[in-house]
Amino acid sequence: MLPYQTIEEASAALGRNLTFAETLWFNYSASKSDYVLYCHNLLFLFAIFSLVPLPLVFMEVLRWGGLDRYKIQPKVRLPFSDMLKCYKDVMWMFFFIVGPLQLVSYPSIQMIGIRTGLPLPSGWEMLSQLLVYFLVEDYTNYWIHRFLHNKWGYEKIHRVHHEYTAPIGFAAPYAHWAEILILGIPSFLGPAMVPGHMITFWSWIALRQIEAIETHSGYDFPWTPTKHIPFYGGAEYHDYHHYVGGQSQSNFASVFTYCDYIYGTDKGYRYQKKILKKLNEEPAGVQNGGSIDFKTD
């Protein structure tokens, strides 16, 4: 809750007039407690989990001709009933695991110093903090994800997430309840190391979930803006991890690819890409010294 009764008081405390964004924030948050503002995360997560994957559902069910060619595993088609079941399972997890966890974790937000007051963070401050959050989460998530692919971790926990060998948007948060709790740690570490404003925290939670939905979309669109982000994995990169399945020791990264490259856990993926590129470049017919025959239509 802001310690000002009026905009004039806030302006006097800052020694300047409030910006347009700060005025909107004052009008919205002045009478709300910090706990209520923090719990907005529940609304954002519910909206993201429910609405962001919907275009992907329409593409999967309606098979729009112009977009169907971008499906990474075109031979795998999930019926609407399976996608609805996935959404119901995710919502069960949301209401009984993620939601209660959010409600009781507010003291940790207070402890690390996430602020709700004025002034609002600048655009550069938000961008730099979000970059730190993504990097910290990505590195920590890499090692947790890699651990979950050992025999015990996979059989007891991570196999649930891999039930979808051809992932769909709704399956991004689909996982064992223990995995949901464990992977909450990497998401929290960045804000704990570099605490910022509640708006930055909201943005981080929202962007991370949207990114996860994109990488589980099952579609590789050439116009996706994230293709311009250096070392970004994307849908095709993570789809390979699901395609290989439980035996996969490749492509553990959640966002970026540098950990897989440094620690050598992308060799299978890079080998496959090399082979596919070679096959696409060579003419149809006898290839590799006559060892493989391709029929032409």
pLDDT of 145 > 90? The answer is yes
CA 246 from centre of chain: 21
pLDDT of 195 > 90? The answer is yes
Tens of pLDDT along 52-94? 999 999 988 887 768 888 999 988 888 999 999 999 999 999 9
pLDDT of 103 > 70? The answer is yes
Give residue 289's pLDDT. Answer: 41
Quick count: other Cβ atoms within 10 Å of Cβ 37?
20
Task: Output the six-digit token pair for 247.
Answer: 């035996």
Q: What is the C-alpha separation between 110 and 224, in angstroms, rounded? A: 37
Tens of pLDDT along 12-34? 999 999 999 999 999 999 999 99
Q: What is the C-alpha separation between 14 and 26, in angstroms, rounded? A: 13
Burial class (CB in 10 A: 0-12, 13-18, 19+), 183: buried
pLDDT of 138 > 80? The answer is yes
pLDDT of 165 > 70? The answer is yes
Q: What is the C-alpha separation between 34 and 194, in angstroms, rounded? A: 19
Give the per-residue SS3 of 55-71.
Answer: HHHHHHHHCCHHHHCCE
Q: What is the C-alpha separation between 55 and 61, in angstroms, rounded? A: 10
Give residue 24's pLDDT. Answer: 96
Give residue 283's pLDDT. Answer: 63
Mean pLDDT of the chain: 90
Give residue 284's pLDDT. Answer: 52
Q: DSSP label at 84?
A: H
Could you tell me the residue ranges of all domains in the chain? 1-30, 32-279
Q: What is the C-alpha separation between 241 and 185, in angstroms, rounded? A: 22
Task: Output the six-digit token pair for 93.
Answer: 């997890």
Beta strands in the chain (DSSP E): 286-287, 292-293
Task: Report the phi/psi class of residue 289: left, alpha or beta, with left for phi > 0 and alpha for psi in -120 to 50.
Answer: left
Tens of pLDDT along 168-191? 999 999 999 999 999 999 999 999
Give residue 27's pLDDT. Answer: 94
